[in-house]
Structures are given as C-alpha cells and as structure tokens.
C-alpha cells in the first residue's frame, strides 16, 4: 500500500524490487554494513519529480568507479529513482549501493537500495562551529576527492560535536584554516559584491546545489569566484549560505562567535534557485 502524500513512511526498493519497511534488509556480511564501504546519493524530489537526476547519477558513477563498485545499469537506476520519487511526492530519494561482501569466507552481492524519505526539517538559519578536518580528502585531489561514500562517520561526528556545544553544524577547515565545506553541505558567501565559494580543487564534494547556485548567480549577473579562502574571508562576508539537496540555500547567520548578516542577496539567489527548480520540475510547465 502506498501511504498518503506527506506521510513519513518510507518507500524502499532493493535491487529494483519494492519491499515493505520491515522486509528491507541486506546481509550483515556486506562491507557496507561492516566497514561503511559503499556509495550514495540523495536526490530532491519536487511534486514527485526528481531534480537533476543526471548529475546525481554522474556523481554516483564517479564515486562507484573510485571504489570499484559495480552499479546496476544507468537506465534501471534512473527508473527506480523516478518510481520512488513519484510514489513519494515532495521529499528526497536516497540511493545507496553497497560494496557487497568482499571477504572470501563471506561473500555477498552488492545491493542497491533506493528509498524515498521526507526532507528532514532543519533550521531556517545556520550557526556553524569551525573545526579542522584533518581526515578530509582535501589533501587527496587524486583518487578519493569528491567521492560520496557511505564512510561518513567523521562527517557525522563533526556535526555531533558542533551540536553538543550549541551550534547547528560544523564548518570544516584544512590544517591551514582554509574553508572546505560542511559535513553534509557546501558553503558560499557574498564578499565585495561577488559570490565566493571554495574551489573543487580542494577535494570537496561536487555539490549539485552549489552548481545550481552558481547558475543562479550567473543569471543575476553576480560575479563568481572559486578559490582557496581563509576562514576570515567568510567571517568578514556580507552574507553566507549553506547549500545542499536537503538545505537548498540556507543563510548562515553565525560562524563561531562571529555574526554574519542575513540580507537581500541570499533572498534573490534563493528565488532564482527556486525558479530553476520550478522550470525543471513543475508538472504544469514541463513535459513528463
Ligand atoms: C560533504 C558534502 N558536501 C556537500 C554536499 C552537498 O551536495 P548536494 O548539493 O549535491 O546535495 C553534501 C551532500 O550530502 C555533502 O555530503
């Protein structure tokens, strides 16, 4: 049975087969379970339409290649995502592909989980605690940079650490205090009339929301600069934003003890962002 739109019930498919929540299971010998060895994506769905699936699948393919995980074929993945998005309406579709059991004594096939989940509610404005992330693949711009793997323990531990001292989340920095990203989001800010954001050359995730924000800036004739920026650049910014599939464009109002204004640029960027989303997903204006 498909629960009513807006319900918090999950919809799960494993290897393309719909399963009920209580039957959704994979082997405990899967390295996804034992070692966090797997890749994933979270795709926003608006009115039951998945947003930017192509880019998400491109990134999933890059991640899987880095870990030598074989994916189901792209058309199948695409159709499972479409199906889950349509079942759920507004929400997000999570795709996880596990590494399978790779120990010779406990082999298990790689599994593909596609599930619909409600968008988790988050704050309207973010407060971030800066912290050095020496585990971050920032130093590795070769093999593992930008890989969206399920080994997210350090990311989640950073979020948790920030929350325990009253912040919403962490802001991850290199050893030299260059700005990287949040544990589950990208960052950008306005400075001297320009939109600035850390360069992908730092090994941060190629955030799809960040891409859409850069497109929004272009449409608003706002100059964009991607680079290597020290923390002070963000602290002195005119406005700042946390960016992700889940957060979309959320203003950052505090970094450490430093207040950051929330102002008109963010509003315009968020509106432009929304108009791109609507143009691509609105059932009234796009062909199915
Ligand atoms: C480390 C990290 N950076 C950035 C992002 C934002 O990426 P996207 O905009 O594609 O959701 C995420 C999303 O999960 C993330 O985990």
- Closest-CA residue to 150 (of 114, 96, 76, 84): 96
Q: Residue 74: pLDDT band by 50, 70, 90 thresholds?
A: very high
> If you take atom 15 of ligand 1, which residue's CA is the nearest one?
184
Neighbour count for residue 143 (Cβ, 10 Å): 9
205 lines ligand 1 (CB under 6 A): yes
pLDDT digits (tens, 9 = 90+) for 78-126: 999 999 999 888 999 999 999 999 888 888 899 999 999 999 999 999 9
Tens digit of pLDDT for each residue in 150-199?
Answer: 999 999 999 999 999 999 999 999 999 999 999 999 999 999 999 999 99
Q: Give the domains, in start order, of the chain with CATH numbers.
A: 11-117 (3.30.470.10), 126-277 (3.20.10.10)
Cα(286) to centroid(ligand 1), Å? 26
Find the 182 Cα to ligand 1 centroid distance in Å: 8
CB of 95 shorter than 6 A to ligand 1: no
DSSP-assigned beta bridge partners for residue 128:
169, 255
pTM: 0.93
Atom of ligand 1 nearest to the CA of 41: 14
Q: Count CA atoms closer than 13 A to 239's CA, side-chain side.
A: 18
Q: Is the CB of 209 under 6 A from ligand 1?
A: yes
Q: Beta 179-181 vs 186-191: how paired, if at all?
A: unpaired
Q: CB of 172 closer than 6 A to ligand 1? A: no
96 vs 40: CA distance, rounded Å: 4
Spatial distance between the Cα atoms of 207 and 209, rounded to a whole number of angstroms: 5
Place of tokens 């199948």: 76
Give the Cα separation of 27 and 100 in Å (integer): 8
Contact 273, 208 (CB under 8 A): no
């Amino acid at each position: 049975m498909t629960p009513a739109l807006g319900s918090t019930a999950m919809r799960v498919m494993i290897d393309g087969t719909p399963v009920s929540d209580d039957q959704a299971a994979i082997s405990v010998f899967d390295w996804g379970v034992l070692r966090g060895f797997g890749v994933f994506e979270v795709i926003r769905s608006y009115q039951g339409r998945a947003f930017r699936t192509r880019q998400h699948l491109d990134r999933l393919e890059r991640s899987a290649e880095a870990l030598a995980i074989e994916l189901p074929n792209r058309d199948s993945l695409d159709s499972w995502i479409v199906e889950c998005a349509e079942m759920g309406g507004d929400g997000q579709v999570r795709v996880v592909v596990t590494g399978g059991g790779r120990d010779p004594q406990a082999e298990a096939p790689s599994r593909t989980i596609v599930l619909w989940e409600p968008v988790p509610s988050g704050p309207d404005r973010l407060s971030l605690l800066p912290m050095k992330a020496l585990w971050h693949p920032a130093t590795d711009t070769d093999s593992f940079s930008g890989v969206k793997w399920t080994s997210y323990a350090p990311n989640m531990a950073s979020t948790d650490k920030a929350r325990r001292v009253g912040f919403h989340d962490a802001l991850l920095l290199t050893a030299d205090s260059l700005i990287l990203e949040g544990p589950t989001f990208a960052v950008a800010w306005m400075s001297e009339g320009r939109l600035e954001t850390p360069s992908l050359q730092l090994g941060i995730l190629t955030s799809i929301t960040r891409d859409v924000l850069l497109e929004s800036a272009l449409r608003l004739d706002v100059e964009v600069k991607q680079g290597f920026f020290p923390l002070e650049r963000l602290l002195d910014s005119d406005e700042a934003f946390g960016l992700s599939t889940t957060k979309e464009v959320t203003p950052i109002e505090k970094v450490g003890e430093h207040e950051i204004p929330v102002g008109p640029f963010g509003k315009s960027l968020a509106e432009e962002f929304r108009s791109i989303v609507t143009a691509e997903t609105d059932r009234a204006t796009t062909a199915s």
